[in-house]
Structure 1
Amino acid sequence: MEWIFAVLGIIVIGVGLRDVFHTLLHPSGEGELTKWCMRTSWQVSKRMGSKAVAVAGPLGIVIVILLWTVLQVLGWTLIYYPHIPQGFVYADGVDPSRYPDFIEAIYVSMVALSTLGFGDVIAVDPWIRAFSPVEALAGFALLTAAVSWFMQLYPALARRRAIGIHLTILRGANYVQDFSQFSPDTASRVLENVTNDLVQVRVDLTQTGESYYFRESTATTSLAASLSYAVALSEQAQAHPDAGVRASGVALQKALQDLSNLMAETFGLTGSSVEDKFRSYASDHGYDYES
C-alpha cells in the first residue's frame, strides 16, 4: 500500500515541477496549469468590471504560485502518509494519537517544504530520512522560482508600457499627418525604432505569455490602445516616395503581422486581418481601437 501513495505523490510533485519548468525555464513555453490559472483569472475579472481586471494579472500570478506550493505539499503528504506515525519520533508532550494521520502528514510536509526542518517531529524511517531533504530543496527552489518570475515579468511589462507611451506621443504630435515633411532618414529612424520595440514585445509575449493578462490603467501607457497608430504609420510609410522609407514601412508591417498572429494563436484573439486582431486585443483590454 505504501508504494501506491508514493507513486501518487511522485506524480503530483512531478506535475507541479513540470509546470514550473515550462513556465520559467523553457524559452518559449508556458505550463498548462499556469495558462489555465491566468486565463481563468482574466475571464472572471472581466466579468467583475474594470477595477477587477486591473488586478487580474497580479492575482493570477499569486494563484499560480499558491497552486505550485499546494501541489508540492500534497505530493509529499501522500509520500509521508503511510509512515505516520510509526516512521517518526515525536517530541515530549506531543501525542500523535490526538491528530488524524493525514493532517499530521500535511503538517510534516508543510514544515519540511518551508525549510524549517521537522521541528517537533523527526523522521526515523530510513527512506523518509533519505528523501525528505529533497522537499526542503524543492521549497527553496520554489521560493527562488517565484522571485525570478517577478524579475522576468516586470521588465517585460515596462518595455510594453514604453512602446505604448511612445506611440501615444507620436499620435499626439500628429506624426502621421506630417509624415511627408520629415527627411527620409528621420522617418526611417522613427519607423525602425517602433519596429524594434514591437519585435521586443513579441519576444516578451513568447517568453512571458502571462504578461498579456496585465492591463494598463490608462490608455496612455496601454499598447492595446495605441497599436492602431503603429498600423497607420506602416500604411503611411509604404506610400512614401522614398524607397528606404517604404522598406521601413514594410518591415513595420511584417512586425505587426507577426505580433497579431502570435496574439491570435496564443490568446484567442479573433479576426482575419491585422487590424481586426488588434481591435480584438484592444477590446479584450477594455479600450477602443482608434482607426
Structure 2
Amino acid sequence: MDVLLTVAGISLAVLGLIDMFHSLLHPSGKGYLSHLVLSGVWRASRATGHRLGSAVGPAAMVAVILLWVALQTIGWALIYYPHIPGGFMYSPGVNPADYPDIAEAIYVSLVTLATLGFGDVVATDPWVRLASPLQGLTGFALLTAALTWFTQVYPPLSRRRSLALELKGLADINYAKTLGEVDHAVATRILDTLTAQLEKVRIDFTQYTESYYFQEEDPDLSLARQLPYALALREAAAASPSKDLQLSARRISVALEQLAKKLGEDFVPKDENPEDVFAAYANDHGQGTQG
C-alpha cells in the first residue's frame, strides 16, 4: 500500500510538471490539463454572456495555477503519508496524534512547497530528507512560472489590440472602397504591414494559447470584432488592376487563411471558409461582426 501511494504521488507531481512544461516552455504553448481548465472557464463565461468581461482570462490562468499547486501538494502529500508521523521529528508542543495523518501530510507538503520552513516538523527519514528539498525547488519553480506566465501573456494581447485598432481606423475611413484611388505603393505597404501583423497574431495563438481567452470589453480593441474588415481589404486589393496590389492581396489572403486554420483547429468550430471561422471567433468573444 505504501508503494502504491508513493507511485501515485510521484505520478501526480510529474503530471503537474509536464503540464507546466507544455504550457510555458513547449513551442505548442498548450498543456493538456491547463487547456481543459482554460477552455472550461471560458465556456462558463460565455454561457453567462461574458459577464466577467476582461477578468475571465486572468481568472482562468489563476485557476490553472491553483490546479498546478493542488497537483504538487496532493502528490507530495501522498509521498509523505506513509512516513507520517514516524519519519518526522516534531517541535515541543506539537503532538502529531492531535492531527489526522493525511492532514499532517498535506500540511507538510504545503509548507515545503511554499518553502516556508517553519521548523515545527522536520524530516528524519533518510529518503524523505532527500526528497523534500526537491519539492522546495518545485515550489520555487512554480512561483517563478506563475509570475512569468502572467508577464508573457500581455505582449501578445498588445499586438492583437494594435492590429484591431489599425483595422478599425481603416474601416472608419472606408479604406477598402477607396483602395483603387489611393497611391498603390502606399496601399501595398499598408496591406503588407497588416499581413505581417496577422502572421504574428497566428504565432501568438500558437505559442500563447491562453491569450485567446482574454475577452475585450472595448470593441475597438477586439480583434474578434475588427478582423472581418481584413477580408474586405483583401477583396478590394484582389479586384485592383495593380499587379502590386494583387500580389499583396494574395499575401494577406494566405495570412488570413492560416489564421483561420489556427482558430479552427484550437478554438472555434472548424470550417474551410475564413469568413465563417472569423464569424465564429467574433461570436465566441461576444462581439458582432464589423459591418
TM-score, normalisation: structure 1: 0.97
Greater shift in the superposed pair: 48-57 or 1-10: 48-57
- Aligned residue for 1:71? 71
* Alpha-carbon distance between aligned partners in 2 of 1:35 and 1:6, rounded to the nearest angstrom: 27
The one-character-per-residue Cα deviations of 1:30-86 (angstroms, maximum 9, x if unpaired) are 111111001110111111223224322111100000000000000000000010000
**Partner SS state of residue 290, structure 1:** coil
Equivalent AA in structure 2 for residue 230 of structure 1: A
Helix, strand or coil at the partner of 1:55: helix
Counterpart contact for 2:268–2:280, Cα < 8 Å: no
What residue in structure 1 maps to residue 199 of structure 2? 199
* Corresponding residue number in structure 1 for 2:39: 39
Q: How does 1:116-265 map to 2 (within 5 A)?
A: 116-265=116-265
Unaligned runs of 5+ in 1: none
Matched to 1:124, the amino acid is: T
Q: 2-side partners of 1:281 and 1:268: how far apart?
A: 6
Aligned to 1:110: 110
Structure 2's unaligned 5+ residue stretches are none
Aligned to 1:100: 100
More off after superposition, 50-59 vs 197-206: 50-59
Residue identity opposite 2:61 in structure 1: I
Equivalent in the alignment of 1:83: 83
CA contact (8 A) 1:6 1:78 kept: yes
Give, as a single letter, the amino acid of the residue that structure 1 aligns with 2:85.
P
Q: Which has the higher contact order (CA 8 A, sep 6+)?
A: 2
- Matches of 1:49 and 1:192, distance apart in 2: 36
Measured in 2, the distance between the counterparts of 1:50 and 1:155 equals 23
Q: State percent identity of aligned pairs.
A: 46
8 Å contact 1:225–1:288 — kept in the other structure? Answer: yes
On the 8 A contact 2:49/2:286 being kept in 1, the answer is no
Cα distance in 2, alignment partners of residues 117 and 257 from structure 1: 54
Cross-structure match for 1:282: 282
Kindly indicate whether the alpha-carbon contact (under 8 Å) linking 1:271 and 1:280 is maintained by their aligned counterparts in 2.
no
SS of 2:122 mapped into structure 1: strand
Decide whether the 8 Å contact of 1:46 with 1:53 is kept in 2. no
Tell me the CA shift for residue 118 of structure 1. 5.0
Contact 2:261 / 2:270 at 8 angstroms: preserved in 1?
no
How big is the shift at 1:116? 1.3
| Rounded Cα–Cα distance in structure 2 between residues aligned with 1:187 and 1:267 | 32
Name the stretch that deviates more: 105-114 or 171-180.
171-180
Secondary structure in 1 aligned to 2:69? helix
1:179 Cα offset (Å)? 0.8
C-alpha displacement of 1:3? 1.8
- Does the CA contact (< 8 Å) of 2:199 and 2:255 recur in 1? yes
Report Cα offsets for 1:123-160 as digits up to 9, x if no partner: 00000001100000000000111111112211111111
Structure 2 partner of 1:59 = 59
TM-score normalised over the length of structure 2: 0.97
> How many aligned residue pairs are there?
291
How far the C-alpha of 1:270 sits from its partner, in A, is 4.4
Q: Contact 1:224 / 1:282 at 8 angstroms: preserved in 2? A: yes
Pairwise CA distance, 1:257: 0.3
Counterpart CA distance in 1 for 2:24 and 2:166 is 29
